[in-house]
Chain A
Amino acid sequence: MSQTVSAADALRIDTEVVLSLLVGFVREEVHKVGFQRVVVGLSGGVDSAVTAAVAQRALGPDDVVPVIMPYRSSSPASEADARAVCDQLGLRPVMVDISPQIDAYFERFPEVDRTRRGNKMARERMSILYDLSFAERALVIGTSNKTELLLGYSTVHGDMAHALNPLGDLYKTQVWALARALGLPDRVVDKPPSADLWEGQSDEEELGFQYALVDVLLYYLVDERRTRVELRALGYADDFIDLIVQRVRDSQYKRRPPVIAKLSARTIDREFRYPRDWGR
């Protein structure tokens, strides 16, 4: 794909404004539901590092519970990076090796492909975070960014399961900018993004395009609602536009609650509409 558009000014954020909004968001949305603490899964990647840093600013280091959950095939560098983030933020990580339960389960299904194994790991981690959520009286804070939510590059009921999500309206490129503004370790910010669900996994190889490229296209498509003609004029090839539009459309179900069969006069979320912060 030959693209002429760079991730130029369209995605350049005012990091100071964003940080103050996110810190206020975490503090208010946690406190107003009667909690003081959050639990966050730390992968060693930039999304969870930024999430932890925002939570640390909002709540203080004692009220952020980071959990590092490696599988035996996870890159050792990931764990080291996650620990480096904890050290910098003054957080004490909880370590849970998920190898025993993952291996025990797949003994029954030895011929399983890596996508299925990866999804199972993501859901295992979710299950651990929610168990610790109860034990620590801490809300599960999510780390999904806008790029992966729009592309459906995430596991339903896995990394997509959480109580609040500070990064869900920021593209990956913008998360990197925030990470730099927060002064997070270079090794976390500069390494190639990976879900680390199998050895050598790379987001950009698996997706088939660079974040810097897709982020700008998504911004034009979603935020600015540009037409096909405008996108072509901006240098985007039709096949790339088609690919992205289809990914967004095909993953719409992931961003919605389960569909309810309409029967009564007042169906939940259709006519029964209340704010989430009802009385909070």
Chain B
Amino acid sequence: MSPTGPATQGLASDAAVASRETPPADAPVAPREGLEDTTGAVVVALAQMAPRLGDVATNLDRHLTMIDEARRGEADLLVFPELSLTGYFLKDLVPEVAVRLDGPELERIARAAGDLDVVVGCVLESDETRFHNSAIYISGGAIRHVHRKVYLPTYGLFDEQRYLAAGDRFRAFELLLPRASQPRRWRAGIVVCEDMWHPSAPALLARQGIDILICPSASPGRGIIQGAALGTALSYEWMTRTFAQLFTCYLVYCNRTGYEDGVAFWGGSRVVGPDGSLLSEPGGAGEALMWHRLDLATLRRVRIAYPLLRDENDELNDRESDRIRSRRAQD
């Protein structure tokens, strides 16, 4: 599959992108390199990183370093991968690495971020001692939105339901983006990794109106057969492009890298435009801070060309869902 199909090339091509390896913390950061301002443009940075398994203190420090770098690079929004504060295959470490919404870890991130918006991944502990694989949206020094992963994979190499509680909602929210001058507010929804394998999740968010679908991920690479190697990566290639195009929204996919217990996470973070084309080459297998420019003008242009959201028949959807539900109730 070519990164940008000829049929869609050009639609989002003016959303120029610079992607580069992470420079050392003291290196000068070129502000908005190649990302000249246009109407309603925001700069989204993806922190494709390899968290240290079970070591929240070290990971928190690395978050603060990358927040500083994203701030100096004049990003508006910085997205971290799934469970970026903890690592993924936690098993019995879950209660030991969990943080609270009012705890010092998220507070430190919020303070460091200042007017940079951040999406960070962590295990959240509730007052009822439930542990949720969560993605937290922080803006203006406060937590503005929490998504608790709904679909916890418990098959193959996954065992999330043994250790974690499932979320129960998909809610869209406003991005505040105080660093960007906006003709209108951007709206976003979050799905965490496996959530995206259930198309009802992005569909529910799209119905609430979203401009950006954010997917923090910890996807392990597997499959080595010629022609279908790293099958999961191929699946995400298809899903990210398909959902972005069908829901005519930007899709921000931030996957982690590194190895845990011999399992490799394949990286490949990317932003897909609302026409389904990649804004730039996806990240490789190494750590990288990747910069993308998203703009409302492109969204508007694509939605005029493809008014799929306008034509979506919610009333029919509700009616058929009600019918299926009532029939099930009679069984």
Contacts and interface: CB of A to CB of B under 8 A. Distances in A.
Interface stretch (B29-37, B188-196, B238-246, B258-266): B258-266
B89 A275 contact: yes
What 8 pairs between A and B have smallest CB-CB spacing?
Answer: A14-B229, A17-B229, A12-B226, A28-B259, A273-B91, A13-B224, A276-B261, A273-B92
Interface stretch (B50-58, B100-108, B142-150, B268-276): B50-58
Contact of B264 (A14, A25, A278): A25
Given A28-B258, A274-B92, A278-B93, 17 more contacts: A13-B226, A14-B229, A17-B230, A18-B224, A21-B224, A164-B262, A174-B224, A272-B92, A273-B91, A273-B92, A274-B91, A275-B90, A275-B91, A276-B261, A277-B53, A278-B53, A279-B53
B285 A14 contact: no
A119 B93 CA distance: 39
A11 B228 CA distance: 12
Chain A CB count within 10 A is highest, among B52, B55, B92, B227, for B92
Interface residues of A, number: 26
Contacts, number: 67
B259 A24 contact: yes
A29 to B, nearest CB: 7
A59 B229 CA distance: 25
A5 interface: no
B52 A279 contact: yes
Interface string B130-160: 0000000000000000000000000000000
B54 A279 contact: yes
Interface of B: 52-55, 89-93, 221, 224-227, 229-230, 258-262, 264, 285
SS class, residues of chain B in contact with chain A: loop
A275 B157 CA distance: 13
B229 to A, nearest CB: 4
15 contacts: A10-B225, A13-B225, A13-B226, A14-B225, A24-B264, A28-B259, A29-B262, A275-B90, A276-B261, A277-B53, A277-B260, A277-B261, A278-B54, A278-B93, A280-B53
Nearest to B258: A28
A275 B260 contact: yes
A28 B265 CA distance: 12
Interface string A15-35: 001101100110011000000
Contact of A25 (B224, B226, B229, B259): B259
A106 B89 CA distance: 47
A280 B92 contact: no
Given A20-B285, A275-B260, A280-B52, A12 B225 contact: yes
A9 interface: yes
A21 B91 CA distance: 24
B264 A21 contact: yes
Contacts of B221: 21
A179 to B, nearest CB: 15
Contacts of B260: 275, 277
A275 B54 contact: yes
B287 to A, nearest CB: 12
A272 B91 CA distance: 9
Nearest to A165: B262
A9 B226 contact: yes
Nearest to A174: B224
A17 to B, nearest CB: 4
Given A28-B258, A277-B53, A279-B54, A14 B226 contact: yes
Nearest to B221: A21
Given A13-B224, A14-B224, A274 B259 contact: no
Contacts of B89: 275, 277
A20 B90 CA distance: 25
A275 B224 contact: no
Contacts of B53: 275, 277-280
A79 to B, nearest CB: 32
A11 B90 CA distance: 32
Nearest to B162: A273
A43 B192 CA distance: 47
A11 B227 CA distance: 11
Contacts of A11: 225
Contact of A275 (B93, B229, B258): B93
Chain B CB count within 10 A is highest, among A11, A17, A164, A174, for A17
Contacts of A174: 224
A12 B226 CA distance: 6
B86 to A, nearest CB: 11
Nearest to B259: A28
B54 A29 contact: no
